[in-house]
Amino acid sequence: MIGERIRELRTAKSMTATELAKAADVSVGMISQVERGITDPSLETVRRIARVLDTPVFSLFQDVDAEPVAVVRRDRRMDIRSPQGGIVYQRVSSGAGKIEVLEGLLEPGAASSDTGWSHPSDECVVVLTGRLVVEVDGTRYDLKTGDSATFDSRNPHRYLNETSKPVRFLLAVTPPSY
């Protein structure tokens, strides 16, 4: 679905795949593979493409023909990976609503990003298993299984796993924007 949305937005702007690739600083092959559904782009690649297409990141994941009740089967969830490979998000929500729900898996010693990231949303994170450090605007919050944190995503933030075991968490973002 993301590839179809990228192609749709790119062609609406009368932009070639080569122009999009150059402006987003990714290969033409990557754009081609994403648009054809052969590969899933990293979260950083999605952010770059969204900037060039002048659209919010969440709009690339929206299903324009949404059903009144959207069921997302566990084995059909979309993966969103960081370029460093330390974190994987699976989209739990359908992508057609006003809230994005993701299940995150953060590997030992990994972080969701090198530095804090901000976007115009609110987030709520709930730790399912393990320990998670939530860093918001330079302040660290140590969360254990069952703990949660809610914050304004316009403040630079990131997630860190400073343990030797993976941490799983649910993340709700509204409006969707990553």
CB atoms within 10 A of CB 45: 19
Bigger pLDDT: 97 vs 141: 141
pLDDT value at residue 67: 67
Q: With bands split at pLDDT 50, 70 and 90, how would you rate the model's confidence at 176? A: confident
Write out pLDDT tens, residues 103-152.
999 999 999 888 888 888 899 999 999 999 999 999 999 999 999 999 99
Beta strands of 34-96 (E only): which ranges? 79-81, 87-91
Domain boundaries, the chain: 2-55, 74-174
Q: With bands split at pLDDT 50, 70 and 90, how would you rate the model's confidence at 21? A: very high
What is the CATH architecture assignment of 2-55?
Answer: Orthogonal Bundle (1.10)
Write out pLDDT tens, residues 42-53.
888 888 898 899
If you average pLDDT over every residue of the chain, what do you get?
A: 88
74-174: in CATH 2.60.120.10? yes
The pTM (predicted TM-score) of the whole model is 0.68
Dihedral of alpha carbons 78, 84, 85, 88, sign: negative
Tokens at 61, concatenated? 């994941």
DSSP state for residue 150 in the 8-state scheme: E
